[in-house]
Every structure is written in C-alpha cells, then in structure tokens.
C-alpha cells in the first residue's frame, strides 16, 4: 500500500496486493505441501535461503510448505501492516510463537536469561519457568525491569493489558528500562486496533491469533510482528522446529482481519456497559478493567486507543461463589480462550493459570469475562440470573461435600 490508509480500510485490503495478478478476488488457499523445483541448483539455493530464515528467491521455488506458503505469507503481510511492522511470522499457536521468540533471543544468541513482567498468560509464565528451553527467568513488576537486567539477558517479556486482571504496563517505559535488550509485548488483548507496541519502541508484538484476530473460535495460531531481521531469525526457528501455521488457518485469520476493527469496537462498547453494571453489584467485590482508576499515569492515553472487551472480577463469597456463577450462566459459555463473537466466562486460577506458582496465581475468587457480539442487555441479564442462582448453588456444593 502506497497511501496512508485508515486501519479500517487496511484491515480489508492488506495482504492482497497479488490477487489482481492472480485473477481472483477472494483469498486463495494454497494447500501444496511440496513445490516443483526449476533445477537442482536453484532448488538447493531456494531451500538454503528459506531454511535460514530468508524468503523464496525470485527465480527459485517455495520448495516445501514447512519453509514457505503463499497463503500464510499473505496473512503475515497483512498483520505486519496493521502492526506498523516490517514483517510478521505466523506459527501453529500462540505458545509456538512465544517459544520461537525465546529460542531466537535466548540460546540461539548465547543469552540464557529472560526478564518477565507479571502478570502474564499462564502458559507463557509456565513456559518461562519450566526450564525446557534452557533459560533462567527473573519475574518482576514493570518498574523493576532495569534492576532485573543482567549481562546474559536476551529478552524482556511483557503483556499489556495483562491476562487475566487487565494490568496496564507502560510499554515505552519498559523499553527504556530494558536498554538494548529486545522487548516482546503480548498484544493479544488489545489487538492492532487498540495498540501498536512497535510504535512505542518494542522489538516485537506477539498475538495468540486464536483470539481476536481469528475472532470465531475456529483456528489456533500465533503471530509475531517485528523487523525483517527479527523475522528471519523467527522463520529459521519455525523451519527447524516445524511450528508452522496450516494454510487453512492462515486463510481464516486473514479473513478474520477484515472485520477485526468493527468487532473490536462493538465488543468494547458492550464491555464498558457491563463494567458499569458490575461496579454496582453487591455480589462483586472488585472489577478489573482498564481506566477504572481514571488513568492517573496517563498510560492509556499515550499507548491505547480503547479499553478492550475483556473484564475480570472478584466475587464476594470466594471460590464457591465464583464456581457457582460459572455453572449458572447460559449465554456466557464456561470455556477457556477469548476474543470470539460469543461471550465466555472462566476461572483463571483453576484453568489457564493453573501451572503458575501459587504466589503469582490469580486469586480463587477471580473470574474472567470475554465479551462477544451478543446484545449487552442480554448479557447483563444472564449475569444477573447467574448471580441470583449462586447462593443456592453454593449450598448445593457444600451439601455435596
């Protein structure tokens, strides 16, 4: 794209520059696992170029789908444009994407230390502390990043808004504290519609594309927006480890991007209405949502264009009440994941954050809501019914014990 386009327009048109030359209007899906080679020399050169993180040579071949696929490449181009990045690299899942980022900036560079700002998605937190990737992790708060950096630190990991309590970290401040250490921001909750970490100095913006980018709960994927140099390192890890995104998944994600801005705005508007209702409910001890404190540090104004569609809340009555509410909703599906067109409710401590050490795990009375595209009044009524049913369900749980 040569003109500067509004994000709404970009979401529809990005990554489609070659469609006219192909003579098609809708996105094509290339399912080829292998590709013809022009000759041995050019085939070999193509293989080497892509296996080491490069792109297919103009006079060569794509060789093999583990190295390159045009359907995946179109989605990567589109996401890079939305994230104001030079490139992006797609993976089979968000965890595959995070694993590649850690490997590319840790052991592959001789660095074996990572600084991680908590809270984080439970899977990321667990991966960083598992020892599986040959790294040591120092967990800290945003203001402790500088003091946590060591000579062998290869990466700083931060998620904002954070999963599940929507904590907001100042990306530019974290980058400044990191010095020359690359910062990866998990941008899953905000999406490129509301936040662009690379504009704030981050080296990478990572997404569990399973969530808002796909938007319909029918594809698992991850993607990292970054510089072309970083993309080469990530593509090399992807080629060697095989964490590639299937072309059908890439097609669904690329199609999902076209409605991302309108979905995000509609879901956010409903979330704001539900938050205002929850604040006054006696059953709710605390609501977690960006901006409820009035943004005294001005972070939201500086780095975000909205507050998103995720909500967390602490229930009065502890775990028993939280458990009862998840069992009583009808429109809110009791399920993990988020960012789809239908609303979800889940208990982070028991599910997504179960592997996190107790001292960093969300409280047992915390529930997380992902607001979908249903009517906000219907969602509020569903929660009201669940709240009303909670005492009876709590008694049933006690009697069952």
Kindly list the catalytic residues.
Answer: 66, 121, 186, 211
Burial code of 71-96, b = ≥16 C-beta within 10 A, e = fewer? bbbbbbbbbbbbbebebbbbbbbbbb
Between vectors from CA 123 to CA 120 and to CA 128, what angle results, nearest 5°? 75
- In the Cβ-directed half-sphere of 330, how many Cα atoms lie within 13 Å? 8
Q: What is the CA radius of gyration of the chain?
A: 22
Check if the beta carbon of residue 309 is closer than 8 Å to that of residue 371.
yes
- In the Cβ-directed half-sphere of 322, how many Cα atoms lie within 13 Å? 23
Q: Which residues contact 310 (CB under 8 A, 6 or more apart)?
A: 161, 163, 164, 166, 189, 271, 289, 338, 368, 369, 370, 371
Check if the beta carbon of residue 387 is closer than 8 Å to that of residue 367.
no
For residues 171 and 217, what is the distance between their CA atoms, to the nearest angstrom? Answer: 29
For residues 54 and 277, what is the distance between their CA atoms, to the nearest angstrom? Answer: 51
For residues 96 and 100, what is the distance between their CA atoms, to the nearest angstrom? Answer: 6
Q: Which residues contact 104 (CB under 8 A, 6 or more apart)?
A: 230, 233, 234, 236, 237
Q: Which of 301, 245, 290, 239 is nearest to 268 (CA)?
A: 290
Taken in order 216, 221, 224, 225, is the CA torsion positive or negative? negative
- Cα dihedral value 130, 135, 136, 140, nearest 10: -80
Bridge partners (DSSP) listed for residue 137: 114
Check if the beta carbon of residue 239 is closer than 8 Å to that of residue 55.
no
Q: Which residues contact 131 (CB under 8 A, 6 or more apart)?
A: none
* Cα–Cα distances in angstroms (integers) from residue 250 to residues 16, 77, 143, 256, 301, in the given order: 13, 11, 37, 10, 33
């Amino acid at each position: 794209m040569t003109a500067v386009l509004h994000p709404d327009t970009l979401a529809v048109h990005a990554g489609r520059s070659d469609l006219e030359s192909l003579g098609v209007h809708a996105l094509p899906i290339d399912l080829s696992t292998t590709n013809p080679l022009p000759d041995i020399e050019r085939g070999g050169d193509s293989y080497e170029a892509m296996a080491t993180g490069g792109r297919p040579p103009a006079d060569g071949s794509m060789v093999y789908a583990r190295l390159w696929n045009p359907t995946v490449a179109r989605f990567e181009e589109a996401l890079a444009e939305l994230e104001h990045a030079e490139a992006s690299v797609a993976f089979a899942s968000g965890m595959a994407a995070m694993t590649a980022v850690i490997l590319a900036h840790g052991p592959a560079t001789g660095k074996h230390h990572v600084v991680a700002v908590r809270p984080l998605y439970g899977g990321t937190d667990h991966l960083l502390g598992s020892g599986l990737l040959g790294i040591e992790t120092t967990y800290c708060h945003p203001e402790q990043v500088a003091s946590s950096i060591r000579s062998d630190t290869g990466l700083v990991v931060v998620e904002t808004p954070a999963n599940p309590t929507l904590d907001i970290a100042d990306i530019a401040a974290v980058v400044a504290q990191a010095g020359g250490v690359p910062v990866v921001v998990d941008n899953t909750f905000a999406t490129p519609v509301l936040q662009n970490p690379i504009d704030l100095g981050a080296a990478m913006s990572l997404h569990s594309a399973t969530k808002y980018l796909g938007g319909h709960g029918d594809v698992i994927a991850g993607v990292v927006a970054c510089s072309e140099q970083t993309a080469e390192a990530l593509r090399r890890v992807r080629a060697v480890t095989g964490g590639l995104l299937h072309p059908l998944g890439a097609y669904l994600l690329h199609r999902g991007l076209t409605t991302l801005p309108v979905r995000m705005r509609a879901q956010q508007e409903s979330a704001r209405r539900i938050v205002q209702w929850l604040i006054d409910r006696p059953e709710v001890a605390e609501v977690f949502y960006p901006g409820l404190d009035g943004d005294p540090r001005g972070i939201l104004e500086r780095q975000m264009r909205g507050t998103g569609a995720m909500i967390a809340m602490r229930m009065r009555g502890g775990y028993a009440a939280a458990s009862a509410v998840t069992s009583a909703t009808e429109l809110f599906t009791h399920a993990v994941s988020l960012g789809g067109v239908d609303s979800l409710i889940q208990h982070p401590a028991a599910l997504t954050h179960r592997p996190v050490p107790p001292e960093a795990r969300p409280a047992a009375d915390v529930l997380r809501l992902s607001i979908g595209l249903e009517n906000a009044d219907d969602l509020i009524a569903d929660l009201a019914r669940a709240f009303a049913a909670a005492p009876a369900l709590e008694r049933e749980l006690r009697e069952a014990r």
